[in-house]
Amino acid sequence: MPGGRLAYDSAGEGPLLVCVPGLGDTRDAYRSLRPVLVAAGYRVVTMDLRGHGESSAGWDDYSQSAVGADIVALLEHLDAPAVVLLGNSYAGGGIIRAAADAPERVAGIVPIDGFIRAIPLNLAVRALIRLIASSPRLWSVYYTTAHPTAKPADLAEHRAKLVAMLRDPQRREAMRRMLLNRAPEAEQVIAQVRCPALVLMGAKDPDFPDPAAEARTQASLLRGQAVVIDDAGHYPMSEFPERTAEALLPFLKNVF
């Protein structure tokens, strides 16, 4: 597509799910959830964000709107007429944008600990975010603490791959620009989203002062439902993939 190349992979057969990771991560964020969904009868496509993983770097725009446009471009490439989009963290806003911009292709959305509205941050948190944005090692530390209860057996290996990725200055800049973006891009178009929505949230997500309350607010804005996954942090799909699937599968059955 104009500006660069997007990497994705596909597994399974059946109704299509497109899974998008958060900033500073790769499509392997869904490595534990993907086989569960494939076994349940779904085709699962996972993609890398622009500037991340095997997607190209050096893009001009790293906004949630740009991520949404990338998702729509992938749906057009796949010629997919009815897809459920899963988006973790920053990509939660991306899937909102995609659903608003291409309603004919999006059958449902699932923000997973997603940033879909502007949340005020105090000065200490803002300073911490700026430190993390400049250091792959600090990002690795954050990534560990964001799995507070059930750390995946391969977490150290996955973290090492993220640190290696972020040693590339262009990829580190991509994460930095996303991490520091406070524009409420997704919130501005939430009212345009008409498809079914399921908000998944980890009960121990360190990124939200009150994760359960945030999940309820997001579900209300999307006229959808919320499920809070006990003991999970910011990445329930890798910390508790079976519980995540248990929350997700009834929603998918109703959508498809």
pLDDT at 54: 98
pLDDT at 78: 96
Q: Check if the beta carbon of residue 90 is closer than 8 Å to that of residue 21.
A: no
pLDDT at 184: 76
Which residues fall within 8 angstroms of residue 16, CB to CB, at 6 or more apart? Answer: 42, 43, 45, 78, 80, 82, 83, 84
pLDDT by 10-residue block (mean), the chain, 256 residues: 89 98 97 98 98 96 97 95 96 97 97 91 65 86 95 97 95 92 88 97 94 97 98 98 98 97
At 150, phi and psi to the nearest 5? -120, 85
According to DSSP H, which parts of 79-115 are helical?
Answer: 90-101
Residue 232: its H or E element: none
pLDDT at 132: 81
How far is 6 from 1, CA to CA, in rounded Å?
8
- State pLDDT tens for residues 85-103: 999 999 999 999 999 999 9
How far is 49 from 4, CA to CA, in rounded Å?
11
How far is 111 from 188, CA to CA, in rounded Å?
16
Q: Check if the beta carbon of residue 85 is closer than 8 Å to that of residue 109.
A: yes
Which pTM value belongs to this model?
A: 0.96
The side-by-side arrangement of strands in the sheet containing 198-202 is: 8-11, 43-47, 16-20, 83-88, 106-112, 198-202, 225-229
| 214 burial via Cβ count (<10 Å: 0-12, 13-18, 19+) | buried
How far is 129 from 134, CA to CA, in rounded Å?
9
pLDDT at 118: 86
pLDDT at 123: 58
Set out the domains of the chain in order of their start, with CATH numbers.
8-255 (3.40.50.1820)
pLDDT at 183: 80
